[in-house]
Amino acid sequence: MTSTANQATRTGNPASKPLVIGLTGGIGSGKSSVAALFAARGVPVLDADQLTRELVKPGSPALNAISARFGPDCLQSDGTLDRDWMRRKIFSDPASKQQLEAILHPAVRKRMQLWISQVQAPYCILVIPLLLETRQTDLVDRVLVVDIPEKEQLKRVAARDGLSHNAITGIMANQADRHARLAAADDIIDNDTDPDTLKQRVADLHRQFMEITHEH
């Protein structure tokens, strides 16, 4: 099912700017698969997680700030960020989570805004896993949620990442719950089926977004 959840749609951008779609969803929901299907249709796609990884390369201002705040334990022997250590740290300490976000989020946001300003297409996709949690919905015109049942999330993430049940539920607990995501959605893709059906659902939404851009 592809549906519109909110009747009040955020489509106030001037015609000279692209319609910005914020793609989000819980861990294991299939955001990357959906983003790849849009990209295959020529839609510009920017992944906030990939952008973050680029911003914390060795020698970068962001990584220098992180290591200054959290100490050498946050780095691996090759000087790269130890993501597993950092993940455990922020999940167990809310203050550390806020401090990390204060370092990264402004830089990521600035890069996303610059990217949007350079897009030459009717619409574009920002893949932001924590779109709601980081209160960045003001960056986008529509919120697209990729949704699957929580039991399916647990199964997919365990198969993909080899994480324990407790580790997965811990990650999910730090994300907006399913009800909150669906309530915030303008559009929903239920990713609970086969690849061909998912491809058709993306095609339907692509057509819908193109129609919106022609109307405004």
Opening angle at CA 187, ends 184 and 45, nearest 5: 100
CB 178 within 8 A of CB 147: yes
pTM: 0.83
Position 27 pLDDT exceeds 80? yes
CA pair distance 97, 89, nearest whole angstrom: 8
Q: Which residues 6+ apart lie within 8 Å of 199 measured at CB?
A: 37
Q: Each residue of 134-152: pLDDT tens digit?
A: 888 999 999 999 998 878 7
Amino acid 118: pLDDT: 95
pLDDT tens column, 154-199: 787 777 777 777 777 767 777 778 889 999 999 999 998 889 999 9
* Cβ neighbours of residue 31 closer than 8 Å, sequence gap 6 or more: 23, 24, 25, 127, 129, 146
Mean pLDDT value across the chain: 86
109, 151, 102: which is closest to 128 by C-alpha?
109
Token pair for residue 37?
Answer: 């299907």
**Percent share of the chain, pLDDT over 90:** 61
| Angle (nearest 5°) at CA 19 between 16 and 22 | 150
Place of tokens 């780095």: 75
Task: Return the structure tokens found at 78.
Answer: 């090759």
What are 89-121's pLDDT values in tens digits? 887 788 998 899 999 999 999 999 999 999 999
Higher per-residue pLDDT: 153 or 201: 201
Q: What is the pLDDT of residue 143?
A: 97
Are 141 and 6 a contacting pair, CB within 8 Å? no
Share of the chain above pLDDT 70, in %: 89
Phi, psi of 112, deg, nearest 5: -65, -40
Contacts of 213 by beta carbon, 8 Å cutoff, 6+ apart: 18, 19, 122, 123
pLDDT at 29: 86
> Which domains occur in the chain, in start order?
1-44+122-216 (3.40.50.300), 50-118 (no CATH)
Residue 4 has pLDDT above 60, yes or no: no
pLDDT band for position 216 (cuts 50, 70, 90): low
Range of lowest pLDDT (8-12, 123-127, 138-142, 199-203): 8-12
